Amino acid sequence: MSEYRINVRFNLSDTEHTAIIDYLNSLDKEKYKSRNQFIIDAIKSAIAYEEKQTADDELLEKFREILKEELCGISVTASAPSPSSASIDMELTEEQKLKNDAEALAFLDMF
Protein backbone atom coordinates (compact mmCIF):
# COMPACT_ATOMS: atom_id res chain seq x y z
CA MET A 1 0.00 0.00 0.00
CA SER A 2 1.41 3.35 -1.07
CA GLU A 3 0.93 6.20 1.38
CA TYR A 4 0.98 9.94 1.04
CA ARG A 5 1.72 11.71 4.27
CA ILE A 6 1.07 15.27 5.26
CA ASN A 7 1.91 16.90 8.54
CA VAL A 8 -0.45 19.27 10.24
CA ARG A 9 0.79 21.59 12.93
CA PHE A 10 -1.39 23.24 15.51
CA ASN A 11 -0.52 26.36 17.44
CA LEU A 12 -1.18 25.64 21.11
CA SER A 13 -1.51 29.34 21.89
CA ASP A 14 -4.39 29.71 19.39
CA THR A 15 -7.76 28.91 20.98
CA GLU A 16 -9.27 27.69 17.70
CA HIS A 17 -6.39 25.26 17.23
CA THR A 18 -6.65 23.93 20.79
CA ALA A 19 -10.41 23.49 20.35
CA ILE A 20 -9.76 21.40 17.24
CA ILE A 21 -7.12 19.34 19.06
CA ASP A 22 -9.57 18.69 21.90
CA TYR A 23 -12.28 17.72 19.43
CA LEU A 24 -10.01 15.33 17.52
CA ASN A 25 -8.96 13.71 20.79
CA SER A 26 -12.58 13.24 21.86
CA LEU A 27 -13.81 11.57 18.64
CA ASP A 28 -16.10 8.60 19.07
CA LYS A 29 -13.81 5.62 18.47
CA GLU A 30 -16.71 3.47 17.28
CA LYS A 31 -17.77 5.92 14.58
CA TYR A 32 -14.27 6.93 13.50
CA LYS A 33 -11.54 4.35 13.64
CA SER A 34 -8.94 7.07 13.35
CA ARG A 35 -8.45 10.79 13.22
CA ASN A 36 -7.23 10.32 9.67
CA GLN A 37 -10.63 8.99 8.58
CA PHE A 38 -12.41 11.87 10.30
CA ILE A 39 -10.19 14.41 8.53
CA ILE A 40 -10.70 12.66 5.18
CA ASP A 41 -14.49 12.70 5.67
CA ALA A 42 -14.40 16.37 6.71
CA ILE A 43 -12.40 17.33 3.62
CA LYS A 44 -14.74 15.33 1.36
CA SER A 45 -17.69 17.16 2.88
CA ALA A 46 -15.98 20.52 2.38
CA ILE A 47 -15.26 19.70 -1.28
CA ALA A 48 -18.88 18.60 -1.87
CA TYR A 49 -20.12 21.80 -0.25
CA GLU A 50 -17.85 23.96 -2.41
CA GLU A 51 -18.96 22.13 -5.57
CA LYS A 52 -22.63 22.60 -4.65
CA GLN A 53 -22.07 26.31 -3.97
CA THR A 54 -20.36 26.68 -7.34
CA ALA A 55 -23.21 24.84 -9.10
CA ASP A 56 -25.79 26.96 -7.26
CA ASP A 57 -23.96 30.16 -8.20
CA GLU A 58 -23.81 29.07 -11.86
CA LEU A 59 -27.52 28.19 -11.85
CA LEU A 60 -28.40 31.54 -10.27
CA GLU A 61 -26.33 33.39 -12.88
CA LYS A 62 -28.05 31.49 -15.73
CA PHE A 63 -31.45 32.33 -14.20
CA ARG A 64 -30.51 36.02 -14.01
CA GLU A 65 -29.39 36.01 -17.66
CA ILE A 66 -32.63 34.38 -18.83
CA LEU A 67 -34.73 36.77 -16.75
CA LYS A 68 -32.81 39.76 -18.07
CA GLU A 69 -33.28 38.60 -21.69
CA GLU A 70 -36.99 38.07 -21.18
CA LEU A 71 -37.53 41.40 -19.44
CA CYS A 72 -35.70 43.27 -22.19
CA GLY A 73 -38.51 42.33 -24.60
CA ILE A 74 -41.26 43.73 -22.40
CA SER A 75 -42.41 47.31 -22.80
CA VAL A 76 -43.62 48.88 -19.59
CA THR A 77 -45.66 52.07 -19.71
CA ALA A 78 -47.63 53.92 -17.11
CA SER A 79 -51.39 53.81 -17.53
CA ALA A 80 -53.27 57.05 -18.06
CA PRO A 81 -54.39 58.57 -14.78
CA SER A 82 -58.05 58.05 -14.02
CA PRO A 83 -60.09 61.23 -14.12
CA SER A 84 -60.83 62.72 -10.74
CA SER A 85 -64.39 63.43 -9.71
CA ALA A 86 -63.74 67.17 -10.06
CA SER A 87 -62.98 66.84 -13.76
CA ILE A 88 -66.05 64.72 -14.63
CA ASP A 89 -68.68 66.64 -16.57
CA MET A 90 -71.85 66.45 -14.47
CA GLU A 91 -74.14 68.01 -17.13
CA LEU A 92 -76.41 65.67 -19.06
CA THR A 93 -77.26 66.19 -22.66
CA GLU A 94 -80.89 66.89 -23.62
CA GLU A 95 -81.19 63.36 -24.98
CA GLN A 96 -79.92 61.88 -21.67
CA LYS A 97 -82.32 64.06 -19.68
CA LEU A 98 -85.33 62.90 -21.77
CA LYS A 99 -84.26 59.27 -21.43
CA ASN A 100 -83.90 59.62 -17.63
CA ASP A 101 -87.33 61.27 -17.37
CA ALA A 102 -88.94 58.48 -19.41
CA GLU A 103 -87.27 55.78 -17.25
CA ALA A 104 -88.39 57.52 -14.05
CA LEU A 105 -92.00 57.70 -15.32
CA ALA A 106 -91.88 54.05 -16.36
CA PHE A 107 -90.64 53.14 -12.88
CA LEU A 108 -93.49 55.09 -11.25
CA ASP A 109 -96.07 53.40 -13.51
CA MET A 110 -95.18 50.06 -11.82
CA PHE A 111 -96.92 51.27 -8.63
Domain that holds residue 48: 30-73
25, part of any domain = no
Distance CA 35, CA 104 (A): 97
pLDDT in tens, 36-86: 888 999 999 999 999 999 998 889 889 888 888 877 777 767 776 666 655
54, part of any domain = yes
Question: Looking at the 3D structure of the chain, how many domains does it have?
Answer: 1
50, part of any domain = yes
Burial class (CB in 10 A: 0-12, 13-18, 19+), 39: middle
Distance CA 20, CA 66 (A): 45
- What is the average pLDDT value for the chain, to the nearest integer? 83
49, part of any domain = yes
91, part of any domain = no
Which of 44, 23, 49, 45 lies closest to 35 in space, CA to CA?
A: 23
89, part of any domain = no
DSSP assignment string, 59-87: HHHHHHHHHHHHHHT----PPPPPPPGGG
38, part of any domain = yes
